[in-house]
Amino acid sequence: MQGHTLSRYAGLPVIIGAGLAGLMAALEMDGPCVLLAPSFTGEGTSSTLAQGGMAAAVGPGDSPANHAKDTLQAGAGLCDPAIVQRITEAGPSAVETLLRLGVPLARDENGQLALHLEAAHSHNRIVFAGGDRSGQVILQHILQQARRKANIHWLQATLEGFHAPDGVLQGIWSSVGFIPTRHCILASGGCGGLYQHTTSPLSNRGVTLALAAWAGATVRDMEFTQFHPTALVTPDQTNRLSLISEAVRGTGAVLRLDDGHRFTEELAPRDVVSRAIAAQLREGRTVFLDGRSLPDAPFSTRFPGITQACRKAGFDPDTQLLPVQPAMHYHMGGLKVDQTGRTTLKGLWACGEVACTGLHGANRLASNSLLEALVGGQWAGQDVNAHRDAAGPLNTTAPERPTFTTDWPFRAEMQQHLGILRTRTELENFLERALPQARQNLCALTASFIGWAALNRPEQRGAHWREDAPGLQSPRHLDLQMNDLPL
């Protein structure tokens, strides 16, 4: 298929996605750039759904070294220590950036930043805003600031492909035309929408990651998918599930079985709590979160946004137990990038959830992703600024575009075979369905990467738990390109 060229944008850096990572990259650009996304309101972003807030070592007695230690511990041997150090050290200045951009971070009675505690953090270190509406408040303020910048061209569209003959980016196809460019920052979020039970926007289905892989980019550690332990169970399981933030357990809510008994350590790392819940659900039990007697203030005062979602689903968290189940929440794997956000495809940067920087390893520490999206967006923007003038002439003729499909009827299978507890047989069953479609269907390609990587990691590490392969092997990354799959 051949499209027309959007000549007015020819040669400009293009940023894909208007969540936190994309907006931070756009704010960083010191020359004209295109910001391309289907919406500029926060809709379709995970960023706007974030409840807990952003992790940064700014509290008394805390330090980036403590933050790094907790991050490495959660990452189960697969974090890149240099990146962990760099990002945790950038935490305090990321908080300053939010304040400079006008984000009203919550304060305590002494006027100091208020800090939540979340699972597996050794200190209270989560800055937040708007009670439990951190993401929404942060994104709206950053959108406002970005709108003041005259150098950003706002293009409402979707990405449909990368043109990268010989492994060098020459342009991108969008739903409204071809843009010749040598610099693209992909900030298009995760792939939770591939799963039946997810807290992410359903539109985040790994399509853009698959397009990058098609063009030749390497993906890393795709098998590491994080399931949040506590999504609210509602009768309609086809939509995105409402999340009940870790901060709720951090303030004292407990998990109970249908007979009232507690069965796990509520503030253990996410993967541990998710597996404990999944094992109970598999036995036919029901699991509840009990936030009826939080210290200091009732649930509805502490967590107004979550309360609203619970009440909409028919539960009053001040007086009732909340039925919960784990749901796909965050993708630790993604496009392999270096410390400036460069992918292995020349001219393509990636930041935020679509990227695999090495910060999270096998398991993300809660609230580290907003921090990674913020600083990763800034660093990618700075690197593009430093290199945007270096390139020579650009061919502006719109080339032929390969056509793909993006329908995805296998959300339930993904949940069943590629969920929290995995076995070789289940993974092979899943791949039998997904692989034959993966050349043509972009969702199937991303799902196949996850399945293939899970099959080729016979161990129990972080969020990846092979029931048929107990124990740990030596730590190693799994890098894949499209031609590594048996397509």
Taking the complex as a whole, the smallest distance from the CB of residue 224 to ligand FAD amounts, in Å, to 13
Q: Segment near ligand FAD (CB under 6 A), from 15-23, 276-284, 382-390, 397-405?
A: 15-23
Site for ligand FAD in 340-399 (CB under 6 A): 352-353, 367-370, 373
Taking the complex as a whole, the smallest distance from the CB of residue 425 to ligand FAD amounts, in Å, to 30
> Of residues 17, 305, 361, 462, which one binds ligand FAD by CB under 6 A?
17
Backbone angles phi, psi at 159, to 5 degrees: -75, 135
The answer to whether residue 64 forms part of the interface with ligand FAD (CB under 6 A) is no
Q: Which residue has the tokens 């659900």?
A: 281
Burial class (CB in 10 A: 0-12, 13-18, 19+), 361: buried
Closest CB to ligand FAD among residues 38, 77: 38
Taking the complex as a whole, the smallest distance from the CB of residue 387 to ligand FAD amounts, in Å, to 22
Site for ligand FAD in 238-297 (CB under 6 A): 243
Closest CB to ligand FAD among residues 196, 200: 200
The encoded tokens of residue 74 equal: 């959660």
Taking the complex as a whole, the smallest distance from the CB of residue 184 to ligand FAD amounts, in Å, to 11
> Of residues 72, 142, 187, 350, which one binds ligand FAD by CB under 6 A?
187
The encoded tokens of residue 269 equal: 């790392």
User: Taking the CA of residue 439 as centre, how many other CA atoms within 13 Å lie in the half-sphere pointing to its CB?
Assistant: 4
CA 8/CA 452 separation, integer angstroms: 41
Site for ligand FAD in 303-332 (CB under 6 A): 329-330
Q: Any idea what DSSP says for residue 49?
A: G
Contact 376, 338 (CB under 8 A): no
Taking the complex as a whole, the smallest distance from the CB of residue 440 to ligand FAD amounts, in Å, to 17
Q: Segment near ligand FAD (CB under 6 A), from 186-194, 278-286, 317-325, 452-460?
A: 186-194
Report the side by side order of strands in the sheet with 184-186: 152-156, 33-37, 14-16, 184-186, 348-350
What one-character-per-residue DSSP string does 231-295 give? EEP-S--SSPPPB--HHHHHTT-EEEETTS---S-TTS-HHHHHHHHHHHHHTT--EEEE-TT-S
> Of residues 71, 136, 170, 208, which one binds ligand FAD by CB under 6 A?
208
CA 242/CA 13 separation, integer angstroms: 35
Taking the complex as a whole, the smallest distance from the CB of residue 309 to ligand FAD amounts, in Å, to 10
CA 444/CA 460 separation, integer angstroms: 25
Q: Which residue has the tokens 């991303």?
A: 446
Taking the complex as a whole, the smallest distance from the CB of residue 456 to ligand FAD amounts, in Å, to 25
Q: Which residue has the tokens 């969702």?
A: 443
The answer to whether residue 16 forms part of the interface with ligand FAD (CB under 6 A) is yes
Give bridge partners of residue 219 from the DSSP assignment: 335, 480
Mask 30-59, x = binds ligand FAD (CB under 6 A)?
A: ------xxx-----xxxx-xxxxxx-----
Contact 189, 330 (CB under 8 A): no
The answer to whether residue 155 forms part of the interface with ligand FAD (CB under 6 A) is no
Distances (CA, A) of 39 to 43, 143, 200, 203, 315: 6, 11, 16, 12, 31
Contact 264, 273 (CB under 8 A): yes
CA 437/CA 405 separation, integer angstroms: 9
Closest CB to ligand FAD among residues 358, 426: 358
- Catalytic residue numbers read 270
Closest CB to ligand FAD among residues 155, 485: 155
The answer to whether residue 482 forms part of the interface with ligand FAD (CB under 6 A) is no
First to last CA, the chain: 23
The answer to whether residue 18 forms part of the interface with ligand FAD (CB under 6 A) is yes
The answer to whether residue 189 forms part of the interface with ligand FAD (CB under 6 A) is yes
Mask 107-146, x = binds ligand FAD (CB under 6 A)?
A: ---------------------------xx-----------
> Of residues 71, 88, 136, 158, which one binds ligand FAD by CB under 6 A?
158
Name the nearest CA neighbour of 240 among 313, 303, 131, 317.
Answer: 313
> Of residues 88, 136, 181, 204, which one binds ligand FAD by CB under 6 A?
204
Taking the complex as a whole, the smallest distance from the CB of residue 48 to ligand FAD amounts, in Å, to 7
Closest CB to ligand FAD among residues 37, 115: 37
CA 434/CA 440 separation, integer angstroms: 11
Q: Which residue has the tokens 């999504």?
A: 231
Taking the complex as a whole, the smallest distance from the CB of residue 150 to ligand FAD amounts, in Å, to 21
Q: What distance separates the 2 farthest-apart alpha carbons in the chain?
A: 70
In the complex, which residues of this chain contact ligand FAD (CB under 6 A)? 16-22, 36-38, 44-47, 49-54, 134-135, 158-159, 187-189, 199-200, 204, 207-208, 243, 329-330, 352-353, 367-370, 373
